[in-house]
Chains A and B, each alone.
Chain A
């Protein structure tokens, strides 16, 4: 990758001061420096820097293949960085041991584009999986979890509006409902950071709005930090405190959402050089 990061229409990352939003300005929850990730010779991320403050809602924008999902997975160690520093909630993810990573992951929720529920299990069983990191020993089936955990899981299911479906198999629900179950599973983790990878990309526009609304509302109520990838610019402008744009593994935009216009944000998608787009 060429080191020409200077883009005329992007803001350089030195003014990362989310001053228009409420997040506290103390120690950032996420601190990324020079993050590089390569897969068999192809570079997915090329030297990305990023800070996310506690309580902030940050949206990552960019084309498919721009490195958004890779960045998210480097934050909870599902991918190990090739180079660079990643610190999440005080843990150095890039050099954490397996045990440290597992401990960190119990505090970091992950919402997937394809929901990733176990279709054959009920909603309740799927939500209980979110609490696995907190308990020791193998668990299989509702009855192997404590009563307190079951009650907590039911409360989360009620909170996402699916109380009537708690004992229904997950694969009998609609996409929007399945993503709600996945959000309940994340809440069951009692996380301090939520990573969401295209949480509404598989949903129709109406459900997209409803699910985004739910995700943002519960995270705000719990004071959770959120890093979310999206490809709907309008949704991003509506919900985010701050927008970060990625293109070909490099950061090309990093600005507070307030005052940002749709055209500003769309600039991430333009200026793609044909050679790059084809590569």
Chain B
């Protein structure tokens, strides 16, 4: 028994030595790193250090984390068992929330389509128009939806209308960009053919471009409904309607079992919407169906359903379609009062809050990476040691994804108290739903060859992981992490609305005290920070590919 083992070990050792010999030109003495590689290493090392500094700056350390864990555990104990006190009212609020998400996305689509045609390089009447349109789209993306909501509630009063409008305006940031990208990707051939039959520019776009981009547009729309549902459940926190209102009520009244019941309902609804949206998008990408009649019936029915749902949403939410137009002057009036932006009257408090926002985003991303890497690996079908592990990890990711970050933040504030620690932990946990999924997807997409090669030379699960899986998925994981940082910093600007630290608190206070120039200043700062982070992560991602 022992003899073969020794021989195997020796053989293995020999093979290893031989391999090293074979690669000796580059194996032991790697070529010196290029300046870009060196810069990337500095950035990598620097960001770890920065995350640690940021953590200590917001008072997050190991003892706090452990104590926080205990606090959360005791809060959850007090929340159990969840209950739903007034099912009829909760059901009505849930329905309202879903309809708000849907209606906001519909309105965003109507705004985005013309904007996308103006912004797309291939259809814009003039490059300057395209630049302006792209700028508007970027602005809508950079201002968080809740910031729009807070401002609109001020302008129009409490209710669902400001919430729907806020969702719509922020969604233009994503839909406008995706719609314009689809237009730019469209084949110019059919357009030329339509022009050659002698029609004007509008019908050229309608008949030559629109049929090509419809699948991409519908897919973006469905995806956005999904995202907006997550936001619409928290709109109630700022008085913009929906189930978030009931949740905040329950938490303020310290009726924790009721709060957990509402969170459970939110979780189910969001998860159901995610599954629905995945199914719809898969059906859109399905292999083309030569049987036109069935295709047409499906298209006709889904179009009719969308129209009916839109009408129902207007009626049920009690929104007068005319109000969409008549409210514009009020909105513009409030927007006008944010000029000129005031950056000075708050003094150093503003800059401290901004730094805290950045620190929360950074720490949350670090927590997210630490939690998501193992979970994401276990959630990948080709890495999970057992299908049950895979299923459990995937479910965990899906469940976390279904809880909006702000809901997590509210719960953590209730558990560990007001402040940036609650915000950072909430965002960090929330990151699992985002990064865990991306890691799992990236790992599932890597080619199976290298892993097989490691297995064929006798490598076990850990060796396969470190020699084949991680090196192959690293670039994509780093890219996703940068994107996560982007998202987390954007979200951390609004955490203050629920008392979880950062610049959002000042923003909310400024709105409450009607100091709109200060609001303008903060929004401007957020806009600049988000743009800078986007540029930086774009540069790093470009270096990686």
Which of chain B's residues have a CB closer than 8 A to the CB of A248?
A: none
B207: A residues at CB distance < 8 A: 118, 129, 132, 139-140
Minimum CB distance partner of B190 in chain A:
A118
B458 is an interface residue with CB less than 8 A from chain A:
no
Among B138-146, B152-160, B285-293, the stretch that binds chain A is B285-293
Question: A106 CA to B199 CA in the complex, in Å?
Answer: 8
Chain B residue contacts of A109, Cβ below 8 A: 196
24 inter-chain pairs at a CB distance below 8 angstroms, sorted by A residue, are A102-B198, A103-B198, A104-B198, A105-B196, A106-B197, A109-B196, A112-B189, A112-B193, A116-B189, A118-B190, A120-B288, A129-B207, A132-B197, A132-B203, A133-B199, A139-B207, A140-B210, A140-B211, A168-B290, A168-B292, A172-B290, A182-B193, A185-B193, A185-B197
Interface flag for B202 (CB, 8 Å): yes
User: Does B200 have its Cβ within 8 Å of any Cβ on chain A?
Assistant: yes
Residue A269 at the chain B interface, CB threshold 8 Å:
no
Complex Cα–Cα for A119 and B193 (A): 13
Interface residues of A (CB under 8 A from B): 76, 78, 98, 101-110, 112, 114-122, 129-133, 138-140, 167-169, 171-172, 182, 185, 189
Tell whether B131 is near chain A: CB-to-CB under 8 Å: no
Instruction: Report if A121-B195 is in contact (Cβ < 8 Å); known contacts: A114-B189, A138-B203, A171-B288.
Output: no
Residues of chain A lying within 8 A (CB to CB) of residue B197: 105-106, 110, 129-133, 185, 189
**What is the 8 Å Cβ interface bit string for chain B, positions 200-223, against chain A (1 contact, 0 not)?**
101100111011101100000000
Interchain nearest-CB distance for A152 vs B (Å)? 14
Contact indicator B195/A78 (Cβ below 8 Å): yes
Question: Which residues does chain A contribute within 8 Å of B194, judged by CB atoms?
Answer: 129, 132
In the complex, which residues of chain A have a beta carbon less than 8 angstroms from the beta carbon of B195?
78, 105
Does chain A have a CB within 8 A of B192? yes
Given contacts A110-B196, A110-B197, A132-B194, list 16 more A-B pairs with CB under 8 A: A78-B196, A102-B198, A105-B197, A107-B198, A108-B198, A109-B196, A110-B193, A116-B189, A122-B292, A133-B197, A139-B207, A167-B293, A168-B292, A169-B290, A185-B197, A189-B198
Q: List residues of chain A with CB within 8 A of the CB of B193.
A: 110, 112, 116-117, 129, 182, 185
Measured in the bound complex, the distance between the Cα atoms of B403 and A255 in whole Å is: 77
Report, nearest first, the 8 A-B pairs whose CB atoms are least far apart.
Answer: A105-B198, A133-B198, A106-B198, A116-B189, A116-B193, A110-B196, A167-B292, A102-B198
CA distance A120 to B212 in the complex (A): 7
A119: B residues at CB distance < 8 A: 212
Give A189 to B208 CA distance when docked, in angstroms.
Answer: 16
Total contacts A-B at CB 8 Å: 90
Interface residue range, chain B: 20 to 34
Give the dominant DSSP class at B's interface.
Answer: helix
Give the nearest-CB partner of B194 in chain A: A129
Question: Which A residues lie within 8 Å of B208 (CB)?
Answer: 118
- Please tell me if the beta carbons of B212 and A118 are within 8 angstroms of each other in the complex: yes
Q: Closest approach, in angstroms, between the C-beta of B182 and any C-beta of chain A? A: 13
Contacts of A172 in B (CB 8 A): 288, 290
Q: Are B212 and A108 in contact (CB under 8 A)?
A: no
Measured in the bound complex, the distance between the Cα atoms of B215 and A139 in whole Å is: 19
A123 to chain B: closest residue by CB: B292
- CB pair B288 A78 closer than 8 Å: no
CB distance from A131 to the nearest CB of B (A): 8
What is the CA–CA distance of A103 and B200 in the complex, to the nearest angstrom?
10
Determine the chain A residues whose CB is within 8 A of the CB of B200 once the complex forms.
98, 102
Identify B196's interface contact among A76, A115, A138, CB under 8 A.
A76
Query: Are the C-beta atoms of B202 and A138 separated by less than 8 Å?
Result: yes
Cα distance, A104 to B289, chains bound together (Å): 37
* CB-nearest residue of chain B to A106: B198
B-side contacts of A112, CB under 8 Å: 189, 192-193
List the A side residues contacting B293 at CB < 8 Å.
167
Report the minimum CB–CB distance from B323 to chain A (whole Å): 28
Q: Mark B173-194, 1 if CB is under 8 A from A, else 0.
A: 0000000000000010110111
- Rounded to whole angstroms, the CA-CA distance of A118 and B288 in the bound complex is 14
Q: Determine the residue in chain B with the shortest Cβ distance to A120.
A: B211
Q: Which residues of B contact A108 (CB under 8 A)?
A: 196, 198
Tell me if B290 and A121 are in contact (CB < 8 A): no
In the complex, are the beta carbons of B292 and A169 less than 8 A apart?
A: yes
- Name B193's closest neighbour in chain A (CB-CB): A116
Chain A's closest residue to B197 (CB) is A133
**Minimum C-beta distance from A132 to chain B (A):** 5
Most buried by B among A108, A116, A133, A140: A116
Q: Which residues of A have CB within 8 Å of B210?
A: 140
Residues of B within 8 A of A114 (CB): 189
Q: Nearest Cβ in chain B — how far from A123, in angstroms? A: 9
Q: CB distance A169 to B198 under 8 Å? A: no
Query: A168 to nearest B CB, angstroms?
Result: 5
CB distance B192 to A116 under 8 Å? yes
Q: How far is the CB of A172 from chain B (nearest CB, A)?
A: 5
Give B295's nearest chain A residue, CB to CB. Answer: A169
The interface residues of chain B lying within 8 Å CB-to-CB of A98 are 200
Q: How far, in angstroms, from A132 to B204 measured CA to CA in the complex?
A: 10
Contacts of B192 in A (CB 8 A): 78, 112, 116
- CA of A168 to CA of B289 in the docked complex: distance in angstroms? 9
Chain A nearest CB: distance from B285 CB in Å? 13
Query: In whole angstroms, how far apart are the Cα atoms of A103 and B292 in the complex?
Result: 33
CB distance from B381 to the nearest CB of A (A): 32
Query: How many angstroms between the C-alpha atoms of A133 and B203 in the bound complex?
Result: 10
Q: Which partner residue on chain A sits nearest B199 by CB separation?
A: A132
Nearest CB on B from A150, distance (A): 14
Given A110-B196, A133-B199, are A120 and B189 neighbors across the interface (CB < 8 Å)?
no
User: Using Cβ atoms and an 8 Å threshold, which residues of chain B touch A140?
Assistant: 206-207, 210-211
- Tell me which of B193, B195, B200, B289 has the highest count of chain A C-beta atoms within 10 A of its own C-beta: B193
Chain A minimum-CB-distance residue to B192: A116
Q: How far is the CB of B300 from chain A (nearest CB, A)?
A: 9
Which of chain B's residues has its CB closest to A115's CB?
B189
B189 touches A169 (CB 8 A): no
- Give which listed residue, B190, B202, B288, B295, contacts A117 with CB less than 8 A: B190
Q: How far is the CA of A129 from the CA of B199 in the complex (A)?
A: 10
Query: B211 to chain A: which residues have CB within 8 Å?
Result: 118, 120-121, 140
Bound form: Cα–Cα A139–B210 in Å: 12
Closest to B299 in A: A141
| Mask of B467-511 contacts with A, CB within 8 angstroms, 1/0 | 000000000000000000000000000000000000000000000
User: CA of A76 to CA of B187 in the docked complex: distance in angstroms?
Assistant: 21
Assembled-state Cα–Cα distance A139/B199 (Å): 11
Q: Across the two chains, which residue of chain A brings its CB closest to B213?
A: A120
Closest to A124 in B: B292
Chain A residues with CB under 8 A of B196: 76, 78, 105, 108-110
A203 to B110, CA, bound (A): 41
The distance in angstroms between the C-alpha atoms of A76 and B199, with both chains bound, is 13
CB distance from A191 to the nearest CB of B (A): 9
Report Cα–Cα, A78/B192, bound state, in Å: 8
A182 to B193, CA, bound (A): 9
- The complex places the Cα of A110 from the Cα of B288 at a distance, in Å, of 28
Cβ–Cβ < 8 Å partners of B199 in chain A: 102, 132-133
Cα A25 to Cα B190 with chains together (Å): 36
- Give complex CA distance A21, B412 in Å: 89
Q: Please indicate the chain B residues that have their CB under 8 angstroms from the CB of A120 in the complex.
A: 211-212, 214-215, 288
Smallest Cβ-Cβ distance to B207: which chain A residue: A129
Which chain B residues border A138 with CB–CB below 8 Å?
202-203, 206
Which residue of B is nearest A98, CB measured? B200
